[in-house]
Structure 1
Amino acid sequence: MSVFVDDQAKAQEFYTDRLGFVTKSDVPVGDFRWLTVVGADAPDGVELLLEPDENPAAKQYTRALAEQGIPAASFEVDDVDAAYRELTGQGVVFVQPPTDGGPVRIAVLDDTCGNLIQLVSPV
């Protein structure tokens, strides 16, 4: 899975230091990097590619999603309310606090790199 980011170094710092992912791949590719992160508890799980948004289409896509309030990605957590308290305490900005959404509870944060990220947990 990938998300377009406006700054790979800033994205790596946010996703690892704030959200708890760990870097899996960090390979120079010209002016950019093949930069992936994984869940700390799933080192062989799904990798999230922090992909540069240098392509004009990527910039337009990312901006349009954010302007419409559409998350670029969604991650399941055990308890959205606990994650919200923990992450807010670390300075993470949420654009939507924990809210019931049918059979799930959701919250949406700003990843500081151009994306909204949804956290979800079963009710």
Structure 2
Amino acid sequence: MRINLASIHVDDQEKALRFYTDVLGFLPKNDVPMGEHRWLTVVSPEEPDGVELVLEPDDHPAVRPYTEALVADGIPFTSFAVADVHAEFDRLKGLGVTFTQEPTVMGPVTTAVLDDTCGNLIQIAAMEAPAS
């Protein structure tokens, strides 16, 4: 058994597609019209046949109160692995991304939290090399 799909609820699928591809660097994988919305997925360029992230519309009545509560409490909806949080933070800041948490060392991991412009906070994280 393996993870195939993971979803993130977004307030605007087109805006989310632009942010997740043009800014974060993911690749579009599926874009299938589904009535008012689309089956819209992106993947990591490092694993184009890996886990797909579904950019899911947030129009279910339970979604917005949940995501708004997470944002209000500063809690990221999900986390993406990066090789170097500081380098990725600098790259994304240069592209105008807003961060709610700058790079922070938390034991063996360094994290930062960004606003995806689509209703979510996203954590980026990297495991630190053990001290020699």
Same fold (TM > 0.5):
yes
Structure 2: gaps (5+ residues):
1-5
Q: Kindly report structure 1 stretches of 4+ aligned residues shifted beyond 4 Å.
A: none
Q: CA separation in 2, counterparts of 1:62 and 1:51? A: 13
Task: Tell me by how many angstroms 1:60 deviates.
Answer: 1.1
Q: CA separation in 2, counterparts of 1:116 and 1:26? A: 24
Q: CA separation in 2, counterparts of 1:74 and 1:68? A: 16
Q: CA separation in 2, counterparts of 1:91 and 1:39? A: 21
Structure 1: gaps (5+ residues):
none
Q: CA separation in 2, counterparts of 1:21 and 1:61? A: 25
Q: Deviations over 1:50-104 (max 9, x none)?
A: 0000011011111111111110110110000000000100111111000011110
TM-score, normalised via structure 1 length: 0.98
TM-score, normalised via structure 2 length: 0.91
Is 1:43 the equivalent of 2:48? yes
Q: Percent identity?
A: 59
State the structure with more CA Rg.
2
Is 1:56 the equivalent of 2:64? no
Q: CA separation in 1, counterparts of 2:8 and 2:72? A: 16
Pairwise CA RMSD of aligned residues? 0.6
Return the match for 1:70 from 70, 75, 81.
75
Return the match for 1:2 from 7, 11, 30.
7
Task: Tell me by how many angstroms 1:117 deviates.
Answer: 0.3
